[in-house]
Amino acid sequence: MLVHPTYRSARRALRLRPLLRFLALLVWPLVLVSCSPSGEGAASASKAQPHGPIRIVATTGMLADAARAIGGEQASVQALMGPGVDPHYYKASQGDIARLRNADLVVHNGLHLEGRMQDVLEALGRSKPVFALSDGLPEARLRLVGDAAGSKVYDPHVWFDVQLWSTGIRHLADVFGQAFPEYNETFQNNATAYLGELERLDQNLRKTYATVPEANRVLVTSHDAFSYFGQAYGFDVRGLQGVSTVSEVSLRDLANLVDTLVTRQIPAVFVESSVSPRTIQSLVEGCRQKGWEIAIGGELFSDAMGDAGTPEGRYTGMLEHNARLIVEGLGGQWNAADGASADARALPKTHSAS
């Protein structure tokens, strides 16, 4: 089992986090009431937004998309990690720290996806609401991938199971509403509309993936980001690296995967937008040496979305892009009408800040 170095502090963090979160929830309303002039960040989160929309900072693009949908016109949302950024390696820059300090509310994935931002997020949680989407997910639905010094480590790539991700989004709407009760009803209504969009997406994805011949339902990518996808949509998923890109690929794993691909005559493997394509290229070369020409089926979005303003710069568009490449690469049928629901293309009306 591959456990990368940022999981070293997992045990301590897992033990402390619930307590810190609980304390933070207790303390920050008091901070707001006392409203000391020095408590700039926390104080600004109160008082019915004299400064305008609620400033939300999300770590990943997928979370920012959800926060924009929930917050609607009441929120201004920024994502720290842009297109092509690998969250497993990501460290908060000075600019990020300033944005986080300035935020009224912070959203992260949790489950150690943002492994190198753990301390920053914990510290922020003492002065303002900091929420992890994964805190709203039932433990039984999470994929256990290891044990770091006695603490359970779960696969953080929960956005690839649309139904599971939707559960987390309802949780975000609830906690946003607790943080800003005056907008609770709006948040709940906005979330309901967004979740309707995601339900249609999920149904379309199921239909689309079902067109891939069963023998070809093997998805090989750079790192193990797609296991929730595999569980949800019926694919055998193999990543060259572990659930974190921080882990190394062993030559034996590479050779085993080459054997699988050649034996099962899988037509394509995939690279990822946020991970170097180097290891996938060595896989293609390995197959070639054994007489099996395997294609690179294109670049999937794994841990980051596409450019803002493009369909892939939204969660729905990101998943549809992946679906098109996967079904085309593995011998299924892509039906554009099934994929992109027209309403999924329009950006929600919001004070979008990034």
Binding residues for Zn ion (CB under 5 A): 225, 303
Compute the distance between CA of residue 243 and CA of residue 82 in angstroms, rounded to an integer.
20
Helices 315-329 and 184-209 cross at an angle (nearest 10°) of 10
Q: What is the nearest approach in angstroms of Zn ion to the Cβ of residue 302?
A: 6
| Cα three-residue angle 275-135-31, rounded to 5 degrees | 110
When the beta carbons of 225 and 319 are compared against Zn ion, the nearer one is 225
Contact 4, 149 (CB under 8 A): no
Cβ 294 vs Cβ 269: under 8 Å: yes
How much is the CA Rg of the chain, to the nearest whole Å? 21
Collapsing DSSP to helix, strand or coil, 52 comes out as coil
CB of 157 to Zn ion, least distance (A): 6
List the structure tokens of 31.
Answer: 């901070």
Cβ nearer to Zn ion, comparing 61 with 72:
61
Alpha-carbon dihedral 286, 290, 291, 296, rounded to 10 degrees: -20
| Shortest Å, Cβ 117 to Zn ion | 14
Smaller CB distance to Zn ion: residue 104 or 312?
A: 312
State the amino acid at position 347 in one-letter form.
L
Instruction: Supply the minimum distance, in Å, between the C-beta of residue 286 and Zn ion.
Output: 23
Query: Phi and psi of 148, rounded to 5°?
Result: -105, 105
Distance CA 321, CA 315 (A): 10
Residue 19 CB, nearest distance to Zn ion (Å)?
27
CB of 128 to Zn ion, least distance (A): 27
Measured from the CB atom, is 303 or 338 closer to Zn ion? Answer: 303
The answer to whether residues 268 and 294 touch, using CB atoms and an 8 Å cutoff, is yes
Which residue's CB is nearer to Zn ion, number 162 or number 300?
Answer: 300
Ordered DSSP codes for 293-331: --EEEEEE-SSS---TTSGGGSHHHHHHHHHHHHHHHTT
- Of residues 191 and 225, the one with the C-beta less far from Zn ion: 225
Nearer to Zn ion, 89 or 292 (CB): 89
**Closest approach of Cβ 275 to Zn ion, in Å?**
8
End-to-end CA distance of the chain: 37
